[in-house]
Amino acid sequence: MVIVGNLLRRRGQLYKSTVFLRACEWAAPLGFIAVLAGWTTTEVGRQPWTVYGLFRTADSVSPSLTGLDVALSFAGYIVAYLIMFPAGGLLMARIVRRGVDVTTTEGPVEGGRPDLPVIALPGAREGGGRS
């Protein structure tokens, strides 16, 4: 995607190729998938060792921890994430659907942050809001 994007940029076609922009849209989750896949590979690949060749996973479990304890805390995490992920997803979808606010592109972009409270005292604002 990076190579194709750079080629298109050189030809001045970066924002014109519908196919490429569509592909970018679909490529958005790839980084996320790559992180999860890499993580899964290391965690599965090192089994049955916690410290490879030295310390087995079965020996590194806390003796006091019962299956019920783990099930309970796991259920807690599931409940929390069942609330968080859909809420976050819906919010992101809403932001995307609303689209880019064209009026904000007037003047230099200040990283999307408002003026610093210290500098943004009355009077300093007319000075063009440096940050």
Partner 1 sequence: MMPFTLDLVPIWTFILGVGVFLYVLLDGFDLGVGILFGFAPDTPSRNLIMNSIAPIWDGNETWLILGSVGLMAAFPLAFAIIIPAVYFPIAIMLLALVFRGVAFEFRYRDTDHKSFWDHGFSWGSVIATFTQGIVLGAFIQGFKVDGRHFVGSSFDCFTPFSLLTGLALVLGYALLGAGWLVLKTDGEIQVRARLHGRIALIGVLIAVAAVSIWTPLADPDIAHRWFSWPNLIFLAPVPVVTAVIAFSVWRSLTGQSEAGPFIGAIGLFLMSYLGIAISLWPMIVPHHYTLREAASSQSTQAFLLIGTLFLLPIILLYTAWSYWVFRGKVRADIGYH
Task: Work out whether the CA dihedral 62, 68, 73, 74 comes out positive or negative.
Answer: positive
The answer to the question of residue 96 lying near partner 1 (CB under 8 A) is no
- Per-residue binding letters, 108-127, with partner 1 (x by CB under 8 A): -----xxxxxx-x-------
Residue 99 lies near partner 1 (rule: CB under 8 A) = no
Entry field: residues in the chain? 131
Triad 57, 58, 62: Cα angle to 5°: 95
Q: Which of 18, 42, 64, 103 binds partner 1 (CB under 8 A)?
A: 64
Q: Whole-number minimum distance, CB 56 to partner 1, in Å?
A: 16
Amino acid at 129: G
Residues numbered 19 to 38 that lie near partner 1 (CB under 8 A) are: none
CB of 34 to partner 1, least distance (A): 24
Residue linked to tokens 């809403």: 94
Question: What is the amino acid identity at position 6?
Answer: N
